[in-house]
Amino acid sequence: MASSVDLLNFTNEAARKQVREDNRCTGESETVNRNLYEVEQKVIAGKSKTSLIRKSTGGWKFASLLLVNQGLATLAFFGVGVNLVLFLTRVLDQENAVAANSVSKWTGTVYLCSLIGAFLSDSYWGRYLTCAIFQLIFVVGLVLLSLSSWLFLFHPSGCGDGEIVCMPASPVGVAIFYLSIYLVAFGYGGYQPTIATFGADQFDEANPKEGASKAVFFCYFYFALNVGSLFSNTILVYYEDTGKWTLGFVVSLGSAIIALLSFLLGTPGYRYLKPCGNPLPRVAQVFVAAARKWDIVPVNSDDLYEVEGPDSAIKGSRKIYHSNEIEFLDKAATITEDDLCGPKNPWRLCTVTQVEEAKCVLKMLPIWLCTIIYSVVFTQMASLFVEQGDVMKSNFGNFHLPAASMSAFDICSVLICTGIYRQVLVPLAGKLSGNTKGISELKRMGIGLVIGMLAMVAAGATEIARLKHVLPGEKISSLNIFWQIPQYVLVGASEVFMYVGQLEFFNGQAPDGIKSFGSSLCMASMSLGNYASSFLVNMVMGITARGKDPGWIPDDLNTGHLDRFYFLIAALTAFDFVIYVFCAKWYKSINLEGSEKEIQIIEIQQDVVLRRV
């Protein structure tokens, strides 16, 4: 396939040849060639200026600062979230099922807030300002959480370690605690999808080398996330498990402050893209215009309405080529006699790019919906996996291994699998398939679903073995907690395929005007996955806990059947995978026009040729 440079050279030569031949008859060759030369020099000068700016900004130097920021912010977040279920059961005296649901709702809120951050980023604030403001909210939440844990919740001192019982917390203390953790959820959730997109902005897709770096960035982004959470899941979780909750929260606060400072440090060198305006009216206009023309037949794709020249009707966005999917929306770009009679009304006539933006959202939704069940698998690590490990043998001499620290095996699995994927699987798959990405994002997400299903099967098998080793009258099973390692390792391996694939897919397939929204879909699937998990727990307990039957997930897990709940999730994941395969086969990728500078050169030269013909 010819490169863009070859295309430009060919167009240059064709334009000059046509102009020279025509000017033999008109005698104007010198004037036209001089005008063409001046136009080209202006474009080249503009490209040189842009090139100098890009060389001094962005790239790995400043993207690395964002990776450091991501690692530190994640350390702070998981310092709160990883042990939250035990905090609720030990300090606030909630039952297991209630605590698991509380954590699921809180985690769901975290990722649901990503949609708010993405909307503000794409529409009004831009990525940089959105990241800065939400990180500040994140810090304020951690300050409040540290103060509330110190002032209100711990009586007597040292309670919350699983042995010393805490006195009931005051209503004011509980209210401040919940306010603080939801501020943490709002701040961290609102900034997550934007920081991922802002990091990708530091690489120019028009540059082949930087385009490759952009694809690698998402892999390193998820790698940094897990490096940050490793400290929380090992060191911090140990101190919190022994009742030093305030210390854990203060360390999280310090990490969040350093993360914010590291982000601000790169301010002079970041590459900034202006927001493209509110996408909601643009998408709504497409559906309204199509509905108004429901009785007309869409014309040929070449005759659909589009603005002339290289610029798109959506400011700051490239044009999108027409696609053949969801053709009824093409009615919105079909020109009628009414459209020609007066000024163009965007609620009656939309551009092809605007229609394709709406199509992209609709086409991504089925893929996104299929990822929600996987998030149900993922959220079990922060709730039921921890409760399961808490009733397994975890004492080794005088040392007690906190159940939540077992998620370190998940993190190590992610780090190891990321390295294997980047260094082994991608080159090998690239040679076999000819795809430079190795395995396409959609295939990776499918593999992630299958591995996630296997993780639930492993968790169910562990629970069956745990129940067999429960002695009458004993709360703790004699089965070693390290039997949980396979389920954590499998979840970690599935994350590399699912979540990294999601980040690349939704960011890459989202139009320029809604890039942060694309990244937020990954977070939003986690959000709905947590809410779905909470709903599933409630439904299962409502069906199974009747009369004297304690249900599958009772307060005393030794009298329940947590294994059946895990197998239920595995079955749902298998069913979801079948649907996902059909959706992935149906999906067609977005087709964007080339860079604006290349289009500008081509169209100027073509215009000169056409004016002389």
From CA 16, how far away is CA 30, in angstroms rounded?
A: 11
Region 477-496: what's the mean pLDDT?
92
For residue 90, is pLDDT > 90?
Answer: no
* Average pLDDT across the chain, whole number: 80
Tokens of 169: 């917390």
Tokens of 332: 């919105």
Same domain, 333 and 387: no
From CA 206, how far away is CA 144, in angstroms rounded?
A: 45
For residue 394, is pLDDT > 50?
Answer: yes
The Cβ of residue 508 has, within 10 Å, a number of other Cβ atoms equal to 18
Cβ contacts of 339 within 8 Å, gap of 6 or more:
305, 345, 348, 349
Of 384, 599, 370, 592, whose CA–CA distance to 501 is shortest? 370
pLDDT for the residue numbered 85: 78
Same domain, 217 and 296: no
pLDDT for the residue numbered 377: 92
395-396 and 399-400: which strand pairing? antiparallel
Residue 18 lies in a domain: no
Same domain, 339 and 377: no
pLDDT for the residue numbered 370: 92
From CA 121, how far away is CA 109, in angstroms rounded?
A: 19
Region 476-494: what's the mean pLDDT?
92
Same domain, 95 and 184: yes
Tokens of 345: 């009304």
Q: Which of 368-382, 525-539, 579-593, 599-613 has the lowest mean pLDDT?
A: 599-613
Q: pLDDT tens digits, residue range 24-67?
A: 434 444 444 444 444 444 434 444 344 434 556 778 888 999 99
Of 488, 463, 487, whose CA–CA distance to 558 is shortest? 463
Same domain, 184 and 226: yes
For residue 613, is pLDDT > 90?
Answer: no
Same domain, 424 and 481: yes
Per DSSP, helices labelled H in 469-591 are 485-509, 515-544, 562-586
From CA 342, how far away is CA 338, in angstroms rounded?
A: 7
Which helix H or strand E contains 400, and what residues bound it?
strand 399-400
Same domain, 89 and 183: yes
Cβ contacts of 125 within 8 Å, gap of 6 or more:
133, 275
Residue 2 lies in a domain: no
> The domain containing residue 381 runs over which residues?
359-612
For residue 73, is pLDDT > 70?
Answer: yes
Domain end point (choices 209, 240, 275): 275
Same domain, 537 and 450: yes
Q: pLDDT tens digits, residue range 120-179?
A: 888 888 889 999 999 999 999 999 998 887 766 556 666 766 677 777 777 887 888 889
Per DSSP, helices labelled H in 202-244 are 208-231, 237-241
Domain end point (choices 356, 391, 424): 356
pLDDT for the residue numbered 415: 85
Same domain, 235 and 337: no
pLDDT for the residue numbered 23: 41
pLDDT for the residue numbered 161: 66
The Cβ of residue 457 has, within 10 Å, a number of other Cβ atoms equal to 19
Which helix H or strand E contains 399, and what residues bound it?
strand 399-400
pLDDT for the residue numbered 140: 95
Same domain, 424 and 490: yes
For residue 336, is pLDDT > 70?
Answer: yes
Percentage of the chain beyond pLDDT 90 is 26
pLDDT for the residue numbered 157: 64
Residue 216 lies in a domain: yes
CATH number at residue 468: 1.20.1250.20
Q: pLDDT tens digits, residue range 203-235?
A: 877 677 776 777 788 888 888 888 888 888 778
Percentage of the chain beyond pLDDT 70 is 84
CA distances for 4 relative to 7, 9, 207, 220, 296, angstroms? 5, 9, 11, 29, 38
Domain end point (choices 330, 356, 382): 356
Same domain, 522 and 462: yes
pLDDT for the residue numbered 446: 94
For residue 376, is pLDDT > 60?
Answer: yes
CB 149 within 8 A of CB 177: yes
Cβ contacts of 447 within 8 Å, gap of 6 or more:
439, 494, 497
Residue 27 lies in a domain: no
For residue 611, is pLDDT > 60?
Answer: no
For residue 513, is pLDDT > 70?
Answer: yes
Region 550-556: what's the mean pLDDT?
86
Question: In the chain, how many domains are there?
Answer: 3
From CA 309, how far away is CA 355, in angstroms rounded?
A: 18
